[in-house]
Amino acid sequence: MTAHFDEESWEAEIGAMLGGLPTVGPPDGFIESALDRRPLHAGRTMAGMAVLAVAAVITVIGTGAVGRTVVTVEPDEVADRHVSVEASVFGTGSSQEYNVVDDGNGVAASAYLPPGFQAVSTVEAYGLVVSVFERRDRKVSVSFQPGAVDWGALEAEGMANVDGRQTWFDPESQITVLQSADGIVTIVGLDLDEVANAPVSSEVDAARSWWQRATDTAGAVAEQLGYPEVGGTAAAS
């Protein structure tokens, strides 16, 4: 199938050809199935179950079901983890392969980010759940782990206070360490001011506490995938 185009108007001619493409409608029953939020394919079902595991982790952190193990956060390790996970997720040279628990459809951790960041992938790395987000050429990772931050192990000059919460921030590496009731959130790639204002722009009610937002986030993941009972299950554990 060979076409001939005028040198002066070839772009318009191609545009017209594409503009003439017919619309394509969905097969019968597809929209009703989508409205029922039933996973269409086995792969999606597995992804959904994996995301629920993330949701459960976040919810358990928020509800205080996990013991308060004191954790020493090593900024160098955090930076290395970020670089390795990012390289793996974007296929830019990491030899590490991580277990992907969410291929980018989830909303886990979005409550901690400014607007416009899109979830790319959530993986298990070094025993943590790490979500990677992207906005244009900016890449941010958010890690979750149970326990309590050993603030004394972090450099004193990095200590900050955001909305009355103890926080640690390193402007050079853009690492922020937050503490909730029972969980640790480590964010790489944002300035402290962006972190401080992020909940304002999220879809989650900013007036709610950190762990309530974490619970909301977990619930939102479950709702997206059609498993509303998960929040209750995790809360009861």
Partner 1 sequence: MQVGITRSSTESKRRLRFNRQLGGVDRASVPTWEEIARTHDRFLYSLAYRLCGNHHDTQDLVQEVLLRVRRGLNTYQPGNLEGWLSRITTNAFLDRVRSQKRRPTVALPDDPDRVIAGSPDADAEMAARDLPQHLQDLLMDLPPDYRAVVVLKDVLGFSYEEIASAIDVPIGTVRSRIHRGRSRLRVALTQ
Q: Which residues bind partner 1 (CB under 8 A)?
A: 1-5, 10-11, 14-15, 17-19, 21-27, 30-31, 34-35, 37, 40-41, 44, 88-91, 100, 103-105, 107, 116, 118-121, 134-136, 157-164, 167, 169, 171, 192-193, 196-197, 200-201, 203, 206, 220, 224
CA-to-CA distance for 48 and 102, rounded, in angstroms?
8
Amino acid identity at 117: F
DSSP designation for 199: H
Query: What is the nearest approach in angstroms of partner 1 to the Cβ of residue 111?
Result: 13
Interior CA angle at 231 toward 167 and 202, to 5°?
45
In the block, tokens 């996973």 appear at 39
Q: Output 145 or 217, the one with its CB closest to partner 1.
A: 217
Q: Output 71 or 100, the one with its CB closest to partner 1.
A: 100
CA-to-CA distance for 108 and 122, rounded, in angstroms?
8
Rg of the chain's alpha carbons, rounded to an integer?
Answer: 22
How many Cα atoms within 13 Å fall on the side-chain side of residue 172? 5
Query: What is the nearest approach in angstroms of partner 1 to the Cβ of residue 224?
Result: 5
Query: What is the nearest approach in angstroms of partner 1 to the Cβ of residue 27?
Result: 7
Query: What is the nearest approach in angstroms of partner 1 to the Cβ of residue 206?
Result: 6
Tokens of 83: 């670089």
Q: Output 64 or 151, the one with its CB closest to partner 1.
A: 151
Query: What is the nearest approach in angstroms of partner 1 to the Cβ of residue 66?
Result: 28
Q: Output 94 or 233, the one with its CB closest to partner 1.
A: 94
CA-to-CA distance for 146 and 220, rounded, in angstroms?
20
Query: What is the nearest approach in angstroms of partner 1 to the Cβ of residue 106?
Result: 10
* Residue 67 DSSP SS3: coil
DSSP designation for 150: -
Q: Output 28 or 229, the one with its CB closest to partner 1.
A: 28
CA-to-CA distance for 211 and 217, rounded, in angstroms?
9
Q: Output 65 or 83, the one with its CB closest to partner 1.
A: 83
Query: By the 8 A CB rule, do 214 and 127 touch?
Result: no
Q: Output 121 or 141, the one with its CB closest to partner 1.
A: 121
Query: What is the nearest approach in angstroms of partner 1 to the Cβ of residue 73?
Result: 16
